[in-house]
Amino acid sequence: METSVIRLLTCGSVDDGKSTLIGRLLVETDSVPHDTVDTARNIRRSGSTIAAGEIDFSLLTDGLEAEREQGITIDVAYRSMSLLDGKRLIISDAPGHEQYTRNMAVAASRADIGLVLIDATKGVRTQTLRHLMICALMGVERIIIAINKLDAMHYSESTFEQIQNDVHVVLDRLEIKDAHFIPMSALAGDNVVSRSTNMPWYTGDTLLDSIQNWNKPEGAQASARMRIQLISRAENFRGVAGTVHLGGFNLGDEVCVYPGKQKAKISKILSYTSELEGVEEGDAITLVLTPEVDATRGDMIAHVADEIESSDRFMANIVWLHDDPLIHSRSYLIISGPTQVPAIITRIKNRIDVHTGEHISVNSLGVNEIGTVEIATDTPMPLLPYSKSREFGNFIVVDRQNFKTVGAGMIVHSLRRGSNITHQDYEVGKVERSAQKSQKSRVIWLTGLSGSGKSTIANALEKKLFTQGIHAYVLDGDNLRLGLNMDLGFTPEDRAENVRRVSEVAKILVDAGLVVITALVSPFEGDRQRARSIFEPDEFMEVFVDTPVDVCITRDPKGLYKKAASGAIPNFTGVGQDYEVPSHPDLVLDGRASVEENVALIIKGLT
């Protein structure tokens, strides 16, 4: 069935003419109020060469004053117009500058058609290739390649054919099947709405024709899915609310709620105004289930016959959007719809070269780079491959410290080991082991610069606890690097993995009923917070040994600062690599104070 709404994404490099093209399309289809058009005749961007009285079409899609001042599109501008066959076209004008790739990626995730502009005077550029790859990854159904500004090339057919041949190589590599090339001039209006008389050698569709003749592909019949967005409570019922995707639900259908796999029947279907017998894709409704199940926001509802497997291990394609690189073993938040789950990148499989399509082995991903990764989530998630469902196969990656979006991802598939491994419970647990030792197990996480006194304090603290009959054990960073972590270096990604391993060992020892003391630099706030997250709230005590770097350099017990100053240690914290001071430590110690005084403060904090 054809969709009543078509979502069009326009993208390409800076100054390829996207805003001008969309502005002209809107004006020539009479989709802009006349007073707005009159305003575009009188306002000019800084440095504009458009003659007085002529329409500056690009102003019709720019919503931010900063865009007009800089002459670039920063945010995604959305406009709507009606097509001849009654469909509604929603146009998103995405930014072309590299630093705003995140805006383009978000718009692509919902687009049906991708309109990629190429400046005929400049040819195919890196950002063009990146946008084509993102469109392919995001499942955009049709790609229209508009080779613009041909008026500046005297409407040269050979120029058009050369660029077309160059792009065809990329389309074949990305396996884009539904692609259309249109020669045009957005400024002059050639082949936008009306066929150009300046290019008699072109006999294909205009841009408007190519948009209007697109129909949503007929896919395989899919069963309905609904992700719970809200628990609705009233005096006489408890319902689950959300938007239906992929199929439909009917009264009496037997459904299953994931990831808990709780079965129930639909006893009522409620819209805002009435009760319904059935619902279809796109309907926002409330379901009342019998029996009432323990469902929560973010859970998925599907027909009982679907047997959806929830997993905590996934392979995914990811577009990295932040200046700080993506590194494995660092903890992030994965958000998909209303579901938010802590996760780590367990492996970066490759980076995809946008020029050649080659999969290159790397240890990190930089800003605007695209790659394939493996992800481990703290709890199972009922995600589907993105190729089967854009709604249930997408996610964003969020920094746990500042809550900024740093990546956009698409699920390739769940990993088999995610469903093959289950937690084994034993009758003797942490509570029993701690009670046997007459103590409360916990971890005391000492962090600070090298030379701050962490190991000295840890040693004295263990001795003090030992004399009090407390079963304690020190996990020292240097000692662990002689064995368990001997394969790790001091890059940010290796430091993240170092902290992850130490925290997991500490968790095992806490489960054994011990008081664990860790002494390692752990310079990054995100890594320490991930360590905290795997413990119960009252089990983790972060202790910041605050010692000025000049004091640490004076002490230099291992001669590391001297080596770092000579260049022998390039990633040494405090010299070649920053130390992120804990934002909310449980205890701050003055590294210049006596060891006895600092040990007493820790013991006081434990009581």
Q: Decide if pLDDT at 360 tops 90.
A: yes
* Cβ atoms within 10 Å of 596's Cβ, excluding its own: 11
Q: Look up residue 351 and give its two tokens.
A: 């980076």
Average pLDDT, the chain: 85
Residue 464 pLDDT: 95
Q: Using H for helix, E for strand and C for coil, what is the string for 286-355? A: EEEEECCCCCCCCCEEEEHHHCCCCEEEEEEEEEECCCCCEECCCEEEEEECCEEEEEEEEEEEEEECCC
Give the tens place of pLDDT for each residue, 371-403: 999 999 988 888 888 988 888 889 999 988 788
* Cβ atoms within 10 Å of 27's Cβ, excluding its own: 20
| H helix runs in 138-241, sequence order | 157-174, 207-212
The pLDDT confidence band at residue 1, using thresholds 50, 70 and 90, is very low
Q: Decide if pLDDT at 64 tops 50.
A: no
User: Stretch 456-472: mean pLDDT, rounded?
Assistant: 96
Q: Decide if pLDDT at 20 tops 70.
A: yes
User: Stretch 459-481: mean pLDDT, rounded?
Assistant: 95
Task: For the chain, give the percent of residues with pLDDT over 70.
Answer: 87
| Cα–Cα dist 198/189, whole Å | 11
Give the tens place of pLDDT for each residue, 305-328: 887 778 889 999 999 988 889 988
| Cα–Cα dist 317/366, whole Å | 14
The domains located in the chain, with CATH, are: 5-212 (3.40.50.300), 225-306 (2.40.30.10), 311-415 (2.40.30.10), 430-606 (3.40.50.300)
| Cα–Cα dist 6/211, whole Å | 8
Q: Decide if pLDDT at 460 tops 50.
A: yes
- What φ, ψ does residue 326 adopt, rounded to 5°? -75, 130
Q: Are 19 and 79 in contact (CB under 8 A)?
A: no
User: Stretch 350-362: mean pLDDT, rounded?
Assistant: 90
Q: Are 281 and 321 in contact (CB under 8 A)?
A: no
> What is this structure's pTM?
0.72
94-98, 120-124, 543-547: which range is least confident on average? 94-98
| Cα–Cα dist 132/114, whole Å | 8
CA dihedral 389, 356, 114, 208 (to 10 degrees): -140
| Cα–Cα dist 528/496, whole Å | 9
**How far is residue 172 CA from its own chain's centroid?**
27
Q: Look up residue 348 and give its two tokens.
A: 């970066």
* Cβ atoms within 10 Å of 43's Cβ, excluding its own: 11
